[in-house]
Amino acid sequence: MAILSEEQEMLRDMARDWAANESPVAAFRKLRDAGDGFDRAAWEAMAAMGWTGVVIPEAYGGSDFGWLSMGLVAEELGKTLTASPLVASTVAASAVMLGGSEAQQSNWLPRIAGGQAIATLAVDEGPHHDPARIAARVSDGKLTGTKPFVAEAANADLFVVAAADGLYLVEKGAGVTLSPRSLTDQRSHAEVRFDGASAERLAGGGDTLIDDVLDRARILASCEMLGMAQQVFDVTLDYLKQRVQFNQVLSSFQALQHRMADLFGDLAMMRSAVEGGLQALDSGFGVARAATIAKAEANRVLHKITNEGIQLHGGIGMTDEYDIGLYLKRARVLEAQWGSTSFLRDRFATLGGY
Amino acid sequence: MATQATQEIDTDAAFREEAKAFLAEHFPPELKGKSNALASVEGPTAETPAQKSWREAVGSRGWGTPTWPKEYGGGGLTRKQARILDEEMARAGAFNPIGGMGVMMFGPTLLEYGSEAQKAEHIPPICRGEIRWCQGYSEPNAGSDLANLQAMAEDRGDHYLVNGQKTWTSGGQWADKCFAIVRTDRSDKHKGISFLLIDMDAPGVEVRPIRMISGASPFCETFFTDVKVPKANLVGEEGQGWTIGKRLLQHERTNLSGGGSLARLMGASLSEMARKTGEVDATGALANKVLRDRIADFDIRWSAFLLTARRAMEESKAAGGVSEISSVLKKLGTRLGQERSELLIEIRGLQGLGWEGDGFEGPELEAVRGWLFGKATTIYGGSTEIQNNIIAKRVLGMLDHQ
């Protein structure tokens, strides 16, 4: 665990308590069974606690509390699979912060910080993350293109959309059509078709704007993944300490102990990598490399820990009644978002000049 | 508050100047970039006059053991100052000439458990780099099951009479003294162990180097036959040896993980090596995409490991004391180190498997010996399997499987 300030510890404890009491996995199950990806009351509670404005400057109604602080919240919500557009909206807000004009910032940031508006990022045009292949075009301020998998689109008021020549702001409304896509994580995803939708360019931020925004998306996704990995580890360890076979608790078998010790080491590396990404964002130094390491380690370790979690639970882990399977299904979606392991290794090598 | 902070900044800046001036005056330019930090493991090379004067300059100031107390010959520096010294050394291409087991393991343990007289006698020569220590822990039948050790120290009034055999004594043939765990009571496996300091030139001590697969002989068998050891050389109480001995292992594991200084000794990165020896495409990327992917995979995990080593250090500092993560660091760092050696060989091909003679560059031959020696890293200092037992039991609270 990174060394936190007193305020950060308070924020983390608050998020931990809220997630455990107000948003346990049972809350996600309820949403899932209702076929809904969004809990308006929970969203308003988060906004009231200030979580929707953690990285947004005070001048625009946020608390400017930094990325490490935001990461703590995302991690705690990841632990209970809280279904919320908080991460998506924060990443999209960062695009407005980095590339928006004064008018765009004062139009959107206060509303996002206050939770009145939800924003999300729409980049990829296929099943794989590939920001180099963008066909969406803008002419005369009208954007046309299709984004087949946009997270949290159903509840978004604002889309930050990648077109061939940069990022654009598109409000939900005329020229924007959504078709739900039901992925294995049973969270809110949709195909979004932009057909001559009014679009405003984010003209600031320079040539690296889209990469800078994607790095933020990678790092915050890694935080959610860290919370999930930690939870799967803890739950699995508890299970091994309770389950009795051959008249012994499973936790006394050395074969299982060594697998848990391995996962413990992997989890330590994942946490270091994710916190390294957050610290890079707060210091502004080495962000691209740190984000790549963070998401690559998050992918590697969460992948392994969810597979091991199921195996170590045995047959009971295959049942819907147990939570472990929900983590597995969410994990693969997050692994694919904003860069699969092969994408990230390629990016790491490219950044390293080889 | 503000004044205090300002004062600290002023003091640190003044110390940086002091360190710079010291390096300018004492560091021999011909030693630039020629760290001999591994000399303690690989055997002594005859000291050149320049090396001697550098060791003496650093040693007399206590800066080789910068945070140890000044009264015993340490530098008495704060951690911040020690880091500044480290930075200035790196900037000047200098290195810390004071090392070995005395610095890494024995010193910190003696500072914690030794008597006043023991600290006054043994710590200053370690700080000056004058005395080599070796470790008398393992025995032929006490490897992973270390507490099964049988070397016996019999109470003879004013001294102990030691009989038995130790093995894997690193640097035993060059050591002046040995810190050993021995049995003072056969009736209790753990509480019958005591921590004893033995002169290697005492009558009855015999050392036989063991030739290893790397061709070197960094380890020895050490035989004790009726060796008289004064009672003043007992550290702590009789029967406290297992506790003290385990504490020393924590220091050993933190150092063996290789996170800190070893990273600097590793030299060129894998990707540089691959670019130098293999084909690159028009964009300057490695043409062998499979190899490129494997190097990136390794580099990412190595980076995460270095971040973990740093995090463990910060957490230990914040909490005070060795972090529980020390066991994880040893296991992770040694495995990654081995993986790196294997990748390096694959990158170089048969040219990277030279044993001796013409046709091989120095670094190529060293890498081969390093690869072979590196197989020991997951065995010594508590094997990976023992680390896993410790993590499962102590950190994860899983039941003892025995």
Query: Nearest CA to A327 among A189, A187, A219?
Result: A187
Instruction: Please list every residue in chain B whose beta carbon sits closer than 8 Å to the beta carbon of residue A4.
Output: none
Say yes or no: A174 and A278 in one domain.
Answer: no
Which pairs from B221-224 meet CB under 8 Å and 24+ separation?
B221/B165, B221/B166, B221/B167, B221/B169, B221/B172, B222/B134, B222/B136, B222/B165, B222/B166, B222/B167, B222/B169, B222/B172, B222/B178, B223/B165, B224/B151, B224/B162, B224/B163, B224/B164, B224/B165, B224/B166, B224/B198
> What percent of chain B has a predicted confidence (pLDDT) above 70?
90
> What percent of chain B has a predicted confidence (pLDDT) above 90?
71
A167 touches chain B (CB under 8 A): no
pLDDT at B265: 47
Give per-residue pLDDT as tens, B360-370: 998 899 899 99
Give per-residue pLDDT as tens, A248-305: 999 999 999 999 999 999 999 999 999 999 999 999 999 999 999 999 999 999 999 9
B197 bridge partner residues: B179
B311 touches chain A (CB under 8 A): yes
Q: What is the DSSP letter of B392?
A: I
Say yes or no: A342 and A238 in one domain.
Answer: yes
Which residues contact residue B218 at a Cβ distance below 8 angstroms, ignoring those fewer than 6 apart?
Answer: B41, B42, B43, B170, B171, B212, B373
When pLDDT is cut at 50, 70 and 90, the band that residue A167 belongs to is very high
- Cα separation of B241 and B234, whole Å? 9
Query: Nearest CA to B346 among B292, B391, B388, B283?
Result: B292
Query: Token pair of B140, please?
Result: 């032929």
Which residues contact residue B51 at a Cβ distance below 8 angstroms, ignoring those fewer than 6 apart?
Answer: B31, B36, B97
Asked whether B224 and B213 are in contact (CB, 8 A), the reply is no
- Best of A237, A243, A269, A343 to disrupt the B interface (most B CBs within 10 Å) is A269
Which of A81, A114, A147 is a domain's end point? A114
Chain-centre distance of CA B97, in angstroms? 14
> Do B303 and A257 count as a contact with CB atoms less than 8 A apart?
no
> What percent of chain A has a predicted confidence (pLDDT) above 90?
98
Give B370 to chain A, closest Cα distance, Å. 25
Say yes or no: A159 and A49 in one domain.
Answer: no
Q: With 80 as the cut, is the pLDDT of residue B34 above it?
A: no
- Cα separation of A337 and A145, whole Å? 19
B155 bridge partner residues: B160
Closest-CA residue of chain A to B393: A257
- Cα separation of B218 and B370, whole Å? 12
Say yes or no: A72 and A190 in one domain.
Answer: no
Of B296, B297, B314, the CB nearest to A3: B314
- Phi first, then psi: what are they for B62, rounded to 5°? 80, 10
CATH number at residue A230: 1.20.140.10
First CA to last CA across chain A, in angstroms? Answer: 32
Reported as type and span, the H/E element at residue B182 is strand B177-183
Instruction: Please list every residue in chain B whose beta carbon sits closer than 8 Å to the beta carbon of residue A296.
Output: 300
Q: What is the DSSP letter of B191?
A: T
A245 touches chain B (CB under 8 A): no
- Cα separation of B392 and B402, whole Å? 13
Question: What is the CATH architecture of B133-244?
Answer: Beta Barrel (2.40)
Q: With 90 as the cut, is the pLDDT of residue A336 above it?
A: yes
When pLDDT is cut at 50, 70 and 90, the band that residue B260 belongs to is very low
pLDDT at B318: 81
Which residues contact residue A110 at a Cβ distance below 8 angstroms, ignoring those fewer than 6 apart?
Answer: A60, A61
Of B296, B315, B396, the CB nearest to A264: B396
Which of A56, A79, A114 is a domain's end point? A114
The CATH class that applies to domain B257-395 reads mainly alpha
Say yes or no: A244 and A149 in one domain.
Answer: no
CATH number at residue A155: 2.40.110.10
Q: DSSP 3-state assignment of B69?
A: coil
Residue A1 placed within a domain: no
Instruction: Please list every residue in chain B whose beta carbon sits closer than 8 Å to the beta carbon of residue A1.
Output: 315
Domain range for A273 is 209-351
Q: What is the DSSP string of A328-354?
A: HHHHHHHHHTT--HHHHHHHHHHHTT-
Say yes or no: A217 and A308 in one domain.
Answer: yes
> Do A264 and B328 count as a contact with CB atoms less than 8 A apart?
yes
pLDDT at B256: 63
Say yes or no: A12 and A77 in one domain.
Answer: yes
Say yes or no: A197 and A123 in one domain.
Answer: yes
Say yes or no: A172 and A39 in one domain.
Answer: no
Which of A169, A184, A201 is a domain's end point? A201
Give per-residue pLDDT as tens, B112-154: 999 999 999 999 999 999 999 999 999 999 988 999 999 999 9
Query: Token pair of B347, please?
Result: 């990158």
Residue A139 placed within a domain: yes
- Phi first, then psi: what are they for A234, rounded to 5°? -65, -45
Instruction: Give chain A's domain count.
Output: 3
Mean pLDDT, chain A, integer: 97
Write out B316-362 in H/E/C secondary structure: HHHHCCCCCCHHHHHHHHHHHHHHHHHHHHHHHHHHHHCCCCCCCCH
When pLDDT is cut at 50, 70 and 90, the band that residue A121 belongs to is very high
> Do A269 and B299 count as a contact with CB atoms less than 8 A apart?
no
B186 touches chain A (CB under 8 A): no
> What percent of chain A has a predicted confidence (pLDDT) above 70?
100
Give A95 to chain B, closest Cα distance, Å. 27
Say yes or no: A33 and A167 in one domain.
Answer: no
A303 touches chain B (CB under 8 A): no
Looking at per-residue pLDDT, the higher value among A3 and A172 belongs to A172
Burial (CB count within 10 angstroms: exposed 0-12, middle 13-18, buried 19+), residue A57: middle
Which residues contact residue B127 at a Cβ distance below 8 angstroms, ignoring those fewer than 6 apart?
Answer: B59, B62, B64, B65, B68, B72, B73, B74, B98
Looking at per-residue pLDDT, the higher value among B98 and B323 belongs to B98
Mean pLDDT, chain B, integer: 89
Asked whether A272 and A280 are in contact (CB, 8 A), the reply is no
Segment A234-244 shows an average pLDDT of 97
**Could you state, in order of their start, the residue ranges of all structural domains in chain B?**
8-99, 133-244, 257-395
In the CATH hierarchy, which fold is given to the domain comprising B8-99?
Butyryl-Coa Dehydrogenase, subunit A; domain 1 (1.10.540)
Segment B276-294 shows an average pLDDT of 94
When pLDDT is cut at 50, 70 and 90, the band that residue B264 belongs to is very low
Segment B205-232 shows an average pLDDT of 94
Asked whether B207 and B169 are in contact (CB, 8 A), the reply is yes
Find the range with the poorest average confidence among A125-129, A230-234, B180-184, B382-386.
Answer: B382-386
When pLDDT is cut at 50, 70 and 90, the band that residue B262 belongs to is very low
Asked whether A216 and A239 are in contact (CB, 8 A), the reply is no
Q: DSSP 3-state assignment of A233?
A: helix
CATH number at residue A29: 1.10.540.10
Q: With 80 as the cut, is the pLDDT of residue B325 above it?
A: no
Say yes or no: A106 and A141 in one domain.
Answer: no
pLDDT at B259: 41
Q: DSSP 3-state assignment of B216?
A: coil
Q: What is the DSSP letter of B199?
A: E
pLDDT at B249: 86
Closest-CA residue of chain B to A236: B396
Closest-CA residue of chain B to A254: B401
When pLDDT is cut at 50, 70 and 90, the band that residue B3 belongs to is low
> Do B398 and A2 count as a contact with CB atoms less than 8 A apart?
no
A251 touches chain B (CB under 8 A): yes
pLDDT at B6: 62
Give A7 to chain B, closest Cα distance, Å. 17
Q: Which residues of B have a catalytic role annotated? A: 252
B332 touches chain A (CB under 8 A): yes
Sheet holding A142-151, edge to edge: A137-139, A142-151, A189-198, A176-180
Instruction: State the ipTM, two decimals.
Output: 0.95
Q: With 80 as the cut, is the pLDDT of residue B324 above it?
A: no
**In terms of DSSP bridges, do strands A158-163 and A119-122 run parallel, antiparallel, or are they unpaired?**
parallel
pLDDT at B401: 60
Q: With 60 as the cut, is the pLDDT of residue B4 above it?
A: no
When pLDDT is cut at 50, 70 and 90, the band that residue A42 belongs to is very high
Q: With 50 as the cut, is the pLDDT of residue B30 above it?
A: yes
A297 touches chain B (CB under 8 A): yes
A5 touches chain B (CB under 8 A): no
Of B318, B396, B400, the CB nearest to A260: B396
Query: Nearest CA to A16 among A80, A86, A76, A78?
Result: A76
Of B271, B303, B398, the CB nearest to A354: B271
- Best of A237, A241, A272 to disrupt the B interface (most B CBs within 10 Å) is A272
Asked whether B361 and B267 are in contact (CB, 8 A), the reply is no
Q: With 90 as the cut, is the pLDDT of residue B253 above it?
A: no
Residue A312 placed within a domain: yes
Query: Token pair of A241, please?
Result: 């300490």
A262 touches chain B (CB under 8 A): yes
Say yes or no: A228 and A323 in one domain.
Answer: yes
- Cα separation of A85 and B347, whole Å? 46
